[in-house]
Amino acid sequence: MPHQADTPAPAVELSGITKRFPGVIANSDVNITVRAGTVHALVGENGAGKSTLMKILYGMQPPDEGTIAVDGHPVSFGSPADAIRAGIGMVHQHFMLADNLTVLENVVLGSEPRKGLGLDFAAARAKIRQISDAYGLGVRPDRLVDDLGVGERQRVEILKVLYRGARTLILDEPTAVLVPQEVDELFGNLRDLKAEGLTILFISHKLDEVLSVADDITVMRRGTTVASVSPSGVTARKLAELMVGSELPVPELRESTVTDQAVLDVRGLTVVGADGRTVLDDVSFTIHAGEVLGIAGVEGNGQAELVEALMGIRVPTAGKITLADRDITRASTRHRREAGMGYVPEDRHRQGVLLEATLWENRVLGHQTRPPNARGPLLDRRGAKADTRRIVEEYDVRTPGIEVNAAALSGGNQQKLIVGREMSGDPVVLIASHPTRGVDVGAQAAIWEHIRRARADRLAVLLISADLDELIGMSDTLAVILRGRLVADHDPATVTPEQLGSAMTGAGRED
Amino acid sequence: MRKLSPRSVLLGLAAPVGALVFALLVCAAILALTGKSPADTIDAMATATQRPRTIANSINSATTYYLAAVAVAIGFKMKLFNIGVDGQYRMAAMLSAALAGATFMSGVPQFLRIAMTIVAAMLVGAAWAGLAALLKVTRGVSEVISTIMLNAIATYLVSYLLNPARLAQATAGSNNISTRRIDAGGQVPGLPYPGSTSKVFGLIFLAVLVGVLYWFVLSRTRFGFELKATGLSESAAVASGVSVKRMVVYSMLISGAVAGLVGMPQLLGSSYGYALDFPPGLGFIGIAVALLGRNHPVGMAVSALLWGYLDNTANSLDVAGIPREIVAIMQGVIVLSVVAAYELVRRYRVRAEQQEVGRALGRTKTLEEVSS
């Protein structure tokens, strides 16, 4: 594509976009101008209409009103294929990669290079290497996607879009799944892409990230664009106000409620992965009643294995787990749950909910052996439904009823249902993995408040989070996990996110 | 899974009815292209319908098909594909026929004798399915592969055992060989159907009972909940304390036990012995009926009746000079189009429900509203 030296036309210009769903206006009179060769951030709470707008720009839904112009030319997209042809590519929040294929195969999938009747993998491999080198993505074409970490998978997604000739990239909450160091790497990549003349449209609700990487910021609220600002002229606080009309909630604990009664005691817990690698190495800790133990770490350093070993989903190779003086090392997941272990999983769609089951059936999930959901071998449907109504009420799950499928709710509301369910039935310990990931500020504040209240009520909590402010604010004790080992303890009252971040990467350690 | 509302019922019916209409159109087109008259075909089928015998036989076929469909559906509910219902019911019918016809059984009271036959059939069916379950949980063998192979093994095993030197005897005056005939003391009496010499299988009540139990277990028990949960998301089920291996074993055993029942109405109600001409392929019909009936206890009953009706009117097409294979084509088109139609309806439902929720809620609350 030839570059115009003098003031190029905007890469993307959306004007007057309106999109109505029956009864709801998802977008109304949205105006955004994205300058070519810039990183443009689109911020707003969940439900502010960002996703709908991006679906419109990516050709997944037609707008009811308004126009889209790409590089100054008006366009109308009937499908994502049209958008891709116009040079617009999208990197979804949830990766769309086939684990059992290589990077090369994933990238060419759907636009396979042909040579005669066969596939020209050599040409594709060369092209992938060339793109990877040009933008510093560090993607190796012949690795199996299954072996890649989250950050690498994301770079593969970006490369996939570039491979198809995109000049404008839409990134939908790309940092939601990343830890700070990976976020820095991603931002480095974005700057490289920008330097090469590409345009990035970056969707986020993390304000400090937006301020550090964006050239322009557009704020959306209630389906419309409320402000266009430059990062130099705005503070995080000001942005937050624009987004929600008020200040962001702060994670913090009030007075200490830690008792000397040990609830969950873990000694020498070791997990060896299927490939023979030690993924969890001699981990020991104790959580007392009324205590929140926070675990900080870069994703993939054994947190998932720790949680699954604690819940009995994964069999530990060595070690001992004691719950309220009872050895549960060999107990089944059901027994652990019945003994009072609550579980808020990291990936709610994978482990937390049945999307195609009703809310009350989801209330039963994981609690199917206990009142109010069961009487002996029979389900207590009435009891389960009544208790679901209570959770919906107390946890402010926004739903018209309990007979709708979980898939119909927004992620934040699904999460509130999960937290409500796991807090039911008097748990003695809660294993919470990223309890507020992907939820909006209001829901986040509500979930924090519920954890605080349960903690005051002598609940022991293991909190794993990639949000360092949340970890520092919500924990009584902080430990850092690195390559499967607990390497350092920190006092949440004095530690800074920067100190924690460097401990997480192993910087400043002697070995 | 959800409350009955007029709209959801309508949506539920849209797919099968649409598939049926589509299949009718395809068949009409095929008939027209091959120079046969679609009108004559409908006419021939309508005439057949007026004969009480057709209806009685349709009900009998449906009884068998329904049991096969429930056997398949138990697996389907947890995304387990028991393709082996066919082999399971043939093994079960053959061995229980040998048991029921054995000389020492003559002295056993009728009720007990029938019960023993049925229980034996369930045990054999469960055992045959259990092999596939065992392979799956210990060795990770896909149940699709193993049950298909077990079908083939069953075929040879049955023909090995169905030999005068072993469990069978030659039928006088024909080339057929059969297990020893079950005498009146081991038979289940049929129900007379007005105007027809064919009787309706007495074991139709067994099929109804199985249907009721299927409904009850799935929607009212913890086991049924865990079964459905495993089918909807195995990872979520594991995290919820469901032992997936145990569920695989249990559901395969139950599926196999129900598969064992498939041959019973025919065996105890009309054949009175397992012979070379015992109906084959019922397990595969069960798959089609379960698909069409969407694993729903009532839906499968309706589709079993439809299937039985189509099969039994096919005979009358021959008389009218229309190739009876048109019925098989129609059944095939129904299954293919219904699978597509259900997926379309499912997607529409998800979207409609999301919009409904959106409409009921308006927008997300702002922070002020939450904290106030």
CATH number of the domain enclosing A170: 3.40.50.300
Distance, in Å, from the CA atom of A287 to the CA atom of A206, rounded to the nearest integer, reads 31
Task: Note whether residue A346 is domain-resident.
Answer: no
Distance, in Å, from the CA atom of A65 to the CA atom of A56, rounded to the nearest integer, reads 11
Q: What is the pLDDT of residue A63?
A: 87
DSSP string, B77-131: HTT---TTHHHHHHHHHHHHHHHHHSGGGGGS-HHHHHHHHHHHHHHHHHHHHHH
The 10 Å Cβ neighbour count of residue A479 is 19
**Contact residues for A395 (Cβ-Cβ < 8 A; gap 6+):** A416, A417, A419, A420, A446, A450
Of A198, A225, A244, which residue constitutes the final position of a domain?
A244
Residue A509 lies in domain: 249-340+426-511
Asked whether B97 and B268 are in contact (CB, 8 A), the reply is no
**Contact call for A405 and B229, based on CB within 8 A:** no
Q: Are residues A264 and A401 in the same domain?
A: no
Distance, in Å, from the CA atom of B204 to the CA atom of A285, rounded to the nearest integer, reads 62
Closest CA to B342 of B80, B18, B66, B21: B18
**Contact residues for B39 (Cβ-Cβ < 8 A; gap 6+):** none
Distance, in Å, from the CA atom of A182 to the CA atom of A153, rounded to the nearest integer, reads 11
Q: Are residues A301 and A193 in the same domain?
A: no
* Chain B residues within 8 A of A312 when measuring between CB atoms: 241
Task: Note whether residue A1 is domain-resident.
Answer: no
Task: Note whether residue A178 is domain-resident.
Answer: yes
> What chain B residue is nearest to A21 in terms of C-alpha separation?
B355
* Chain B residues within 8 A of A377 when measuring between CB atoms: 221-223
Q: Residue B162, SS3?
A: coil
> What chain A residue is nearest to B239 in terms of C-alpha separation?
A351
User: Which value, in Å, is the radius of gyration of the alpha carbons in chain B?
Assistant: 23
Q: Is B343 on the interface with A (CB under 8 A)?
A: no
What residue ranges of chain A have pLDDT lower than 50? 1-5, 23, 509-511
Tokens for A328, please give them.
């549960």
Q: Are residues A316 and A268 in the same domain?
A: yes
Q: Which of B1, B2, B239 sits opposite A345 (nearest CB)?
A: B239
**Contact call for A354 and B229, based on CB within 8 A:** yes
Q: Are residues A310 and A419 in the same domain?
A: no
Task: Note whether residue A7 is domain-resident.
Answer: no
Closest CA to A479 of A490, A465, A468: A490
Q: Is B347 on the interface with A (CB under 8 A)?
A: no
Give all strands (DSSP E) within chain B, no chain letters: 168-170, 177-179, 191-192, 199-200
Q: Are residues A439 and A511 in the same domain?
A: yes
Q: In Å, how far is A350's CA from the nearest CA of chain B?
A: 6
Q: Report strand pairing: B199-200 vs B191-192.
A: antiparallel
Q: Are residues A67 and A199 in the same domain?
A: yes
Q: Residue A202, SS3?
A: strand
DSSP string, B302-333: HHHHHHHHHHHHHHHHHHTT--THHHHHHHHH
Q: Which of A351, A379, A405 sits opposite B235 (nearest CB)?
A: A351
From residue B246, give the alpha-carbon distance in Å to each of B19, B140, B216, B238, B252: 37, 14, 20, 11, 10
Asked whether A88 and A70 are in contact (CB, 8 A), the reply is yes
Q: Report strand pairing: B177-179 vs A88-91.
A: unpaired
**Contact call for B243 and A334, based on CB within 8 A:** yes
Asked whether B153 and B147 are in contact (CB, 8 A), the reply is no
Inter-helix orientation angle B85-101/B143-161, to 10°: 30
CA angle A113, A116, A118 (to 5 degrees): 60
Task: Note whether residue A166 is domain-resident.
Answer: yes
Q: Give the bridge partners for A14, in sequence order.
A: A32, A68
Give all strands (DSSP E) within A358-484, no chain letters: 374-375, 378-379, 429-433, 460-464, 477-482
Q: What is the pLDDT of residue A318?
A: 93
Asked whether A178 and A98 are in contact (CB, 8 A), the reply is no
Tokens for B257, please give them.
């036990």
* Chain B residues within 8 A of A315 when measuring between CB atoms: none
Residue type, A311: M
From residue A480, give the alpha-carbon distance in Å to each of A287, A297, A304, A492: 15, 6, 14, 12
Mark B346-361 as b/e (b = at least 16 C-beta within 10 Å).
Answer: eeebeebbbebbbeeb
Q: Are residues A493 and A412 in the same domain?
A: no
First-to-last CA distance in chain A? 50
Q: Residue B34, SS3?
A: coil
**Contact call for A356 and B232, based on CB within 8 A:** yes
Q: Are residues A266 and A411 in the same domain?
A: no
Q: What is the pLDDT of residue A492?
A: 86
Task: Note whether residue A345 is domain-resident.
Answer: no
* Chain A residues within 8 A of B360 when measuring between CB atoms: 399-400
Q: Are residues A410 and A430 in the same domain?
A: no
> Is the ipTM value over 0.90, yes or no?
no
Q: Work out the mean pLDDT of chain B and round it to a whole number.
A: 89
Of A244, A274, A299, which residue constitutes the final position of a domain?
A244
Q: Are residues A434 and A323 in the same domain?
A: yes
Map out the domains of chain B as residue ranges: 37-322
Instruction: Provide the Cα torsion B295, B301, B305, B306; round to 10°.
Output: -40
The 10 Å Cβ neighbour count of residue B166 is 11
- Our count of domains for chain A comes to 3
**Contact call for B221 and A222, based on CB within 8 A:** no
Burial of B372 by CB count in 10 Å (0-12 exposed, 13-18 middle, 19+ buried)? Answer: exposed
CATH topology classification for B37-322: ABC transporter involved in vitamin B12 uptake, BtuC (1.10.3470)
User: Which value, in Å, is the radius of gyration of the alpha carbons in chain A?
Assistant: 24
**Contact call for B357 and A364, based on CB within 8 A:** no
* Chain A residues within 8 A of B78 when measuring between CB atoms: none
Q: What is the pLDDT of residue A284?
A: 94
Distance, in Å, from the CA atom of B8 to the CA atom of A147, rounded to the nearest integer, reads 44
Asked whether B330 and B324 are in contact (CB, 8 A), the reply is no
Asked whether B305 and B204 are in contact (CB, 8 A), the reply is no
Inter-helix orientation angle B38-50/B297-319, to 10°: 110
Q: Which of B221, B236, B361 sits opposite A350 (nearest CB)?
A: B236
Of A204, A223, A244, which residue constitutes the final position of a domain?
A244
Q: Residue B177, SS3?
A: strand
Q: In Å, how far is B23's CA from the nearest CA of chain A?
A: 29
Q: What is the pLDDT of residue A285?
A: 94
Q: Are residues A308 and A232 in the same domain?
A: no
Distance, in Å, from the CA atom of B55 to the CA atom of B199, rounded to the nearest integer, reads 10
Overall size of chain B counted in residues: 372
**Contact residues for B62 (Cβ-Cβ < 8 A; gap 6+):** B301, B304, B305, B307, B308, B309
The 10 Å Cβ neighbour count of residue A365 is 28
DSSP string, A217-260: EEEEETTEEEEEE-GGG--HHHHHHHHHSSPPP-----S----S
**Contact call for A396 and B370, based on CB within 8 A:** yes
Q: Give the bridge partners for B177, in sequence order.
A: B170
Q: Residue A85, SS3?
A: helix
Q: Are residues A207 and A318 in the same domain?
A: no
Q: What is the pLDDT of residue A245?
A: 58
Q: Report strand pairing: A460-464 vs A374-375.
A: unpaired
Give all strands (DSSP E) within A316-361, no chain letters: 318-323, 326-327, 341-344
What residue ranges of chain B have pLDDT lower than 70? 1-5, 358-372
